[in-house]
Amino acid sequence: MPQLLKVATIVVTIALTPFMANQVDAEPVTAKSTKGVIEYPVGWEPTAQRDETRPQFSYDPQGGPRQRGAFVITSTDSPGENGWFQKSFPVVGGKFVHFHAERKTTQVVAPYRSAVVRIVWLDSLGKAVQAAVPPGEETSPGFVPLAEPEHPLDSEITYNGWTRVEGTYRVPPRATQAIVELHLQWAPKGTCEWSEIQFEETPSPPARKVRLTTIHHVPSGKSPQANCEEFAPLISAAAKQRADLVVLGETIPYVGVKKQPHEIAEPVPGPTTDYFASLAKQHNLHIVVGLYERDRDVVYNVAALLGPDGNLIGKYRKVCLPHREIEQGVTPGNDYPVFQTKFGKVGLMVCYDGFFPEVARELTNRGAEVIAWPVWGCNPLLAQARACENHVYLVSNTFCDVKANWTISAVYNHAGDPIAKANNWDDIAIAEVDLNERYFWRNNLGDFHSMAQRHRPPPARDVELKTPPGGK
């Protein structure tokens, strides 16, 4: 490890260690405030944009999940208070660094938005630096943007009220320091504690390449079972092209059989998922298939994810229903599960869900890196929008003829571009992507996949309208 980052790591360890008599370097610094004298670990200082919106800062040497110290920020009843602890760490351009912290909030309505970490890249003069240009993008048109702040995200690891916040980043080539900021903002009467802060050099993360696939086929409608069996040779062909995830269409057993959803609906797991699970195991890949599910007297439109071990990984029940399905007695789902696979996190949505940005955004909020989308047909711009606005890969599968200039079966990248698409019936469209590769655009705002999760507004409250819009 370069000597520069060794210094940073040592400082972090000191900052996290209780002040012990035999550790001279761990002696706290003294900071004066209007409320008296407060002691902070070496290098850390409380900061606010202006005094009138400055929250209260303190440090508890015995705080944190392991009693090794915690920074504490407390707001009064003002919604405008915004303050943070910050520290500068030396970094080396081109190297990778990993950030980790534990966070606990009290009376904070939206921790994802109010209790955040920012990592700001600067040069030796304290000025902003340009973003790193990925290999192959050096000669692309446009200017090189500034390196935007990073926003480490909440992980699924929580215990005793503490949530892990972390992220791994490549240091911009001209950066020599990183300012780590631990925030509490816009949280009246709220408190945020930060502990176990680590910021250190880490090996370059390995590529996470996955081959995303969609098969453009419309079942014949001879029978529900025949509809499923028609996909067997196509899935076999996709496997020969080393597909990792194969996305099939919506309500496969229902297509063309001229029956109502409740007459076709089946349990999940059940005959259809068992059949495709056997194909997934045979070819060692993941399959997403759509069908109508029956749960007692309730019928749902679902997308099911089958794993290469032949098991059902999970299912998603379509949340947004169009008129026809409502009239046919289909019930909406109410959850947005995201599933961990051996290559990454996968979210599912179905057809009409794509008309509403909330569905893809909720999946992204929960960590989805790939969204599989069986969609009978819809506006072709929606796939582009859902991929672009969330910086996720999206795999669509449609029953629309390509000549109709409507929805296509395709793989979309973080920019919303179809990087692989089916041009004819029974085409197999495959794109290999690296889930660890950051999106770069010369006019971008940075990693919007993370920023969207930190900057998104809180859910709108349902308000009963006392007066109809435009009327009395």
Q: Tens of pLDDT along 376-399?
A: 999 989 999 999 999 999 999 999
pLDDT over 80 at 443, yes or no: no
Active-site choice (192, 318, 362, 400): 318
Sign for the pseudo-dihedral over CA of 18, 195, 28, 92: positive
318 catalytically annotated: yes
Q: How high does pLDDT run on average in the chain?
A: 89
**For the stretch 296-307, what's the b/e string if a residue is b when 16 or more beta carbons lie within 10 angstroms of its beta carbon?**
eeebbbbbbbbb
What's residue 28's pLDDT? 41
Lowest-confidence pick of 205-209, 266-270, 451-455:
451-455
240 catalytically annotated: no
Unique residue bearing structure tokens 């496969």: 252
**Domain architecture of the chain: domains with CATH:** 3-202 (2.60.120.260), 209-435 (3.60.110.10)
320 catalytically annotated: no
Highest average pLDDT, of 128-142, 153-167, 287-301, comes from 287-301
Active-site choice (228, 351, 378, 388): 351
**For the stretch 1-23, what's the b/e string if a residue is b when 16 or more beta carbons lie within 10 angstroms of its beta carbon?**
eeeebeebeebbebbbeeeeeee
pLDDT over 50 at 14, yes or no: no
Residue ranges of E strands in 216-285? 245-247
* Confidence bin at 5 (pLDDT 50/70/90): very low
What's residue 364's pLDDT? 93
CB-CB contact of 97 with 171 (8 Å) = yes
C-alpha–C-alpha distance, residues 341 and 309, integer Å: 11
C-alpha–C-alpha distance, residues 97 and 168, integer Å: 6
Residues 6+ apart with CB under 8 A from 5: 90, 91, 92, 95, 97, 200, 201
Unique residue bearing structure tokens 């250190």: 200
pLDDT over 70 at 465, yes or no: no
Mean pLDDT on 133-158: 84
CB-CB contact of 384 with 355 (8 Å) = no
CB-CB contact of 129 with 122 (8 Å) = yes
Question: What does the pLDDT look like over 212-248, one tens digit per residue?
Answer: 999 999 999 999 999 999 999 999 999 999 999 999 9
Residues 6+ apart with CB under 8 A from 400: 376, 377, 406, 407, 408
Give, in degrees to the nearest 5, the angle at Cα 386 between 383 and 389. 140
What's residue 285's pLDDT? 98
What's residue 8's pLDDT? 35
Unique residue bearing structure tokens 């972090």: 12
Q: Which residues pair with 168 in a beta bridge?
A: 98
* Confidence bin at 20 (pLDDT 50/70/90): very low
Give 148-196 as a 3 state SS string.
CCECCEEEEEEECCEEEEEEEEECCCCCCEEEEEEEEECCCCCEEEEEE
Its pTM stands at 0.86
Active-site choice (193, 250, 362, 369): 250
